[in-house]
C-alpha cells in the first residue's frame, strides 16, 4: 500500500504540474484541435474505448483523435477492415502507422510525436490519472489477456490500486517491444512499490524515450 503522505504529495504535484503545462501548451492544444476537426469535421477527441482507472472505475481518457470516427468499432465489425483486424488481434490490438488505413493525415503526425497524448493532462487535473503510473487499459484487451492468462487477475488487482499515468514504467522499459502479458507484470510491480524516487526516474527518462521513439510500434 502507498504511504498516505506520498499519496497526497503525488496528487498535489499532479495538479500543479498538469495545470501549468495546460497553460503553457494551450496554443498548441488549440491548434491541434482545429486541425483534427477540420480534417473531417468530426469529434476532436477519441470517444472509445473507455479506460479502467483506479479501483476499476471506467473513465474517458482524453486523447486527440488520430483515426476515422468510431475506429475501434470499425476494425472489429466492418468487413472492410478484415485483413487489418487479423494483424490487429495478432499484435495485442496494435497496428503500425503504415499498416493502419484508419489513421488520418494529421493523426500520423500526432502519433509520430506523441502529441495525441497531451489532452491527458486534463485527466490528471480531474483526478482520473497521474503524470506517472501504469498505462490505462480497456476492457477488450483485458478480456483477451485473461482468456489466456487467468492467473493474471492478481496482477490487474494490484494495478487498480493506483491511478493510471500518462507515462510509466512500461513506456520507459520498451513500450510496444513488451508483450501485453509481460506489461501487466511490469505495471503490477510498479504499483506494488510506488515511491518518489521511482516516479522521478520514470519522469526524467520519458523525454528521451519520446525523442528516440524507443519501443514505438510504427
Residue 114 lies in a domain: yes
Report yes or no on 27 lying in a domain.
yes
Is 169 a domain residue? Answer: yes
Domain ranges, residue 60: 4-212
Residue 94 lies in a domain: yes
Grid coordinates belonging to 72: 475501434
User: Is residue 179 domain-resident?
Assistant: yes
- Determine, yes or no, domain membership for 111: yes
Q: Which helix (H) or strand (E) covers residue 167, if one does?
A: strand 165-167
pLDDT tens-digit series, residues 35-81: 999 998 899 998 778 899 999 999 999 999 999 888 888 888 888 88
* 128 occurs within a structural domain: yes
Task: Please state, in angstroms and as integers, the Cα–Cα distance from residue 85 to each residue in 22, 139, 184, following that order.
Answer: 36, 17, 23
Q: Is 218 within a domain?
A: no
Helix runs in 102-195, H state only: 105-113, 120-126, 139-148, 153-159, 169-173, 180-192
Residue found by looking up cell 476492457 in the block: 139
Where residue 98 falls among pLDDT bands split at 50, 70, 90?
confident
Q: Given this model, what pLDDT does residue 49 score?
A: 80
Amino acid at each position: 500500500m502507498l504511504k498516505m503522505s506520498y499519496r497526497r504529495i503525488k496528487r498535489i504535484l499532479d495538479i500543479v504540474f498538469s495545470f501549468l503545462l495546460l497553460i503553457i501548451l494551450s496554443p498548441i492544444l488549440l491548434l491541434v484541435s482545429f486541425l483534427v476537426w477540420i480534417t473531417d469535421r468530426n469529434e476532436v477527441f477519441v470517444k472509445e474505448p473507455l479506460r479502467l482507472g483506479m479501483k476499476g472505475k471506467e473513465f474517458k481518457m482524453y486523447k486527440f483523435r488520430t483515426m476515422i470516427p468510431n475506429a475501434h468499432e470499425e476494425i472489429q465489425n466492418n468487413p472492410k477492415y478484415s485483413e487489418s483486424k487479423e494483424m490487429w488481434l495478432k499484435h495485442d490490438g496494435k497496428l503500425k502507422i503504415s499498416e493502419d488505413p484508419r489513421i488520418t493525415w494529421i493523426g500520423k503526425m500526432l502519433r509520430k510525436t506523441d502529441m495525441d497524448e497531451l489532452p491527458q493532462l486534463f485527466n490528471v487535473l480531474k483526478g482520473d490519472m497521474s503524470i506517472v503510473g501504469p498505462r490505462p487499459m480497456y476492457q477488450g484487451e483485458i478480456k483477451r489477456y485473461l482468456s489466456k492468462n487467468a492467473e493474471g487477475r492478481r496482477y490487474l488487482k494490484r494495478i487498480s490500486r493506483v491511478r493510471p499515468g500518462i507515462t510509466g514504467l512500461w513506456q520507459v522499459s520498451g513500450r510496444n517491444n513488451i508483450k501485453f502479458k509481460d506489461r501487466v507484470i511490469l505495471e503490477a510491480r510498479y504499483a506494488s512499490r510506488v515511491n518518489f524516487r521511482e516516479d522521478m526516474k520514470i519522469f526524467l527518462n520519458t523525454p528521451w524515450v519520446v525523442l528516440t521513439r524507443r519501443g514505438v510500434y510504427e
